[in-house]
Amino acid sequence: MKNLKKHYRFGFLGAGKMAQAILRGLLRSGLARPEEILISRSSTEAVEKLSRELQVDGTTDNRVLAARCRWIWLGIKPFHAADLLQPLAKHLSPKSTVLSMMAGISTRSLRFHLGRGPALIRLMPNTPALLGAGMTGVFLPKSTPVATRKSVEKILGVLGEVVFVSREAELDAVTGLSGSGPAFVYELAIGMIEGGIRSGLKPEEAKRLTAQTLLGAARMLQESGHSPEALIAQVVSKGGTTEAGLKILQGKKTRKQISSAVEAASRRAAEIKEQNERCIP
């Protein structure tokens, strides 16, 4: 890794799966150029690999990233927050904005660890941000300047849809629904693909049919103006094929199970918050 002396527009402290989706999404959209980005990871090998792949600069010293970046994305595990963030406080500029993607780490916790310097923003994106099809929930403290809000809207807007929540506690629900939600959809996709294969389709055929079916159904839900119940009614005919399949799903209480999965993910985000705030006086 080269000697870093310049300043950067974006810094990614922790470049795991979600952070990489955001990073790649920013590059893909053209909103950021590789030379404007600095990444930080604990592994020299991991930093060098990602730096070569994306042509961005990298470091293993989080303090360098904190001192040299205007927008700092926190993509570290919530359980590492205290250990990794406290050493950064004295290196952050009051002009910096910290964008935390950590589930369950409140602005109160962030302020405790990072001090009074930088602006703090919490957000919960999801991995389709890589394709500009993401869904990001954002909480802005009341003290956030209007100019910062506009910049956040512009940055996150290239990654997909953005929803600003009025209460920070709502981010736990955002985490459970849209943050974790893609995994629930992929679980559904696996079942649809397997069902297609068992019914006689080749694996690639089943995958293609499933992907386009999910994409089309999502667009209908987003653009038709109809409720999910009304859209179901458009597909079902008495004694038909869809009715036969829905009876299986209803018998297994699939809808309730999906709802419970979202609730469980949301609850876990709230539990992480409680665990992390126990150390705050």
Edge-to-edge strand order for the sheet containing 160-164? 57-59, 37-40, 8-13, 69-74, 97-100, 119-124, 134-139, 160-164
Q: What's the pLDDT at 17?
A: 87
Task: Map out the domains of the chain with their CATH numbers.
Answer: 8-166 (3.40.50.720), 181-265 (1.10.3730.10)
Task: Tell which residue, 28, 21, 14, has the closest CA to residue 158.
Answer: 28
Which percentage of the chain shows pLDDT scores above 90?
74
pTM above 0.85, yes or no: yes
Are 96 and 117 in contact by the 8 Å Cβ rule? The answer is yes
Provide the pLDDT confidence category of residue 118 given band limits of 50, 70 and 90. Answer: confident
Please give the pLDDT value at position 4.
62
Does the pLDDT value for residue 115 go beyond 80?
Answer: yes
Asked if residues 111 and 88 have their Cβ atoms less than 8 Å apart, the reply is no
Closest CA to 266 of 188, 181, 187: 181
For residue 40, the number of C-alpha atoms closer than 13 Å in the C-beta half-sphere is 24
Contact 215, 189 (CB under 8 A): no
Per-residue confidence at 280, pLDDT binned at 50, 70, 90? Answer: confident
What integer is the mean pLDDT of 179-193?
A: 97
> What is the number of residues in the chain?
281
CA dist 267 and 206 (Å) reads 34
5 band by pLDDT with thresholds 50, 70 and 90: low
Number of H helices, E strands in the chain: 12, 8
Q: Identify the pLDDT of residue 145.
A: 86
